[in-house]
Amino acid sequence: MAKRETTKDKILNAAEALFAEHGFEQTSLRQITAEADVNLASVNYHFGSKKALIQAVMARYLEVLMPALNAEFDQLEPQAQFTTRDVFDCFREPLNALKKVRKGGPTIFLSLLGFAYADIQGHLRRYTMEHFGEVMHRLLALLHVANPNLSPADMFWRLHFVLGASVFAQVSGPALREIAAADFGESIAADQVVDRLIPFLAGGVDAPTA
């Protein structure tokens, strides 16, 4: 018989939901502990600081995503030829695997990533880059193989645009989905966003320069 949900997990879950919706800075520990129905001080007791809590929330996803993503890259890397699209398709399965962490995991994670990335000068940026630095470099290398005509500088910027488009799609996703539903009378599931995103990104990266 499963032990009742521990305080630590209650905090993590409540924090994750609030962070993904409102961002890190905009979510107070008092909101989190109220939502989790635990005492305010328990955050600092179990995690030490808000900073550490944020990283703990991110860690649960990174631990699943990173190995899966690196495995996909490992598979593609030795091949002689592949397309930009092939590279981006590497993200499909690993992102999808985040559903194991939680229902809606892929969307939640991308939202968190977006807020982390938007936190320009904070510790989050550094933390994220520590965990994504290697992925970035591998991604950059793979995209260069798929697109040898592009200069490294061009590719660098396009990768950045890719990041921006991906991350923003999630951060402003909820509000936008409302508008989309209102204007187009269709409800758009969150995982369909990734399906719509990948062709766009590949098209952007493959575009002729100037």
* Residue 112 Cα distances to 20, 69, 89, 191, angstroms: 5, 18, 21, 16
What, of DNA, a second copy, none, does residue 50 touch, CB below 5 to 8 Å by kind? DNA
The option from DNA, a second copy, none interacting with 200 (CB < 5 to 8 A, set by class) reads a second copy
Judged by CB, which is closer to DNA: 51, or 177? 51
Q: Give 191-198's long-range contacts (Cβ < 8 A, gap of 24+).
A: 191/96, 191/106, 191/107, 193/107, 193/169, 194/91, 194/92, 194/95, 194/106, 197/165, 197/166, 197/169, 198/85, 198/88, 198/89, 198/91, 198/92
48 or 133: CB nearest DNA: 48
Contact between 28 and DNA per CB under 7 A? yes
Determine the interface stretch with DNA among 13-21, 33-41, 131-139, 162-170 (rule: CB under 7 A): 33-41
x/- letters, 90..129, toward a second copy (CB under 8 A): ---------------------------xx-xx---x----
**Is 34 a binder of DNA (CB under 7 A)?**
no
Question: Does residue 22 touch DNA according to CB under 7 A?
Answer: no
- The least distance separating DNA from the CB of residue 124, rounded to whole angstroms, comes to 13
Select the residue interacting with DNA from 9, 21, 41, 192 (CB under 7 A). Answer: 41
Nearest by Cα to 64 from 106, 5, 113: 106
Where does this chain touch DNA (CB under 7 A) — which range of 29-37, 73-81, 104-112, 114-122?
29-37
> Interface with a second copy includes 184 (CB under 8 A)?
yes
83 near a second copy, judged by CB under 8 A: no
Q: Would you call 23 helix, strand, or coil by DSSP?
A: coil
CA distances from 3 to 6, 14, 36 (A): 8, 18, 17
Taking the complex as a whole, the smallest distance from the CB of residue 41 to DNA amounts, in Å, to 3
Rounded Cα distance, 107 and 168, in Å: 11
Nearest distance, CB of residue 171 and DNA, angstroms: 19
3-state secondary structure of 128: helix
Angle of the 123-146 helix axis to the 50-76 helix axis, nearest 10: 10
Query: Can you give the binding site for DNA, defined by CB under 7 A?
Result: 6-7, 27-31, 38-46, 49-51
